[in-house]
Amino acid sequence: MTKIKETSTNFANKKALADECPEIYASNIIGGQWALAICCYLINGKMRFGELRKKLQNITERMLTLQLRRLEEDKIITRTVYAEVPPRVEYELTEIGYKLNTIILEFEKWGKEHKDLMKETSKND
């Protein structure tokens, strides 16, 4: 996951859109497939890294680590490290992160409806 150069036109365009439009701003934070998937699993409560890794079978450990760090930087999740041997780390949605619940449920509903529509359309072709 590489960052966009801050001097690029692409970066300037994304920033301008995000500044103008709260929907774009929100989409930039949770828009990636992994970020949203992580939030979907954490909506049910705390999880450890290994539990998330098992749920997200196709994600690499590196990508999961990067996504968790980014979500933590954006204050969507918290990371709690327990002083145990072996160390235990848990991830949980923050207060603002838990507010994604209604959005995630609406995405789920919309996704099912759209999937059904596409199946119907392909049957009629």
* Residue 27, pLDDT score: 85
Rounded to an integer, the average pLDDT of 111-120 is 94
* Residue 73, pLDDT score: 96
Pairing of strands 88-93, 77-82: antiparallel
- Tell whether the model's pLDDT for residue 1 goes beyond 60: no
Which pTM value belongs to this model? 0.80
Count Cα atoms within 13 angstroms, Cβ side, for 99.
6
pLDDT tens across 16-74, in order? 777 788 888 888 888 878 999 999 999 999 999 999 999 999 999 999 999 999 999 99
Q: What is the C-alpha separation between 107 and 82, in angstroms, rounded?
A: 34
Contact call for residues 20 and 85 (beta carbons, < 8 A): no
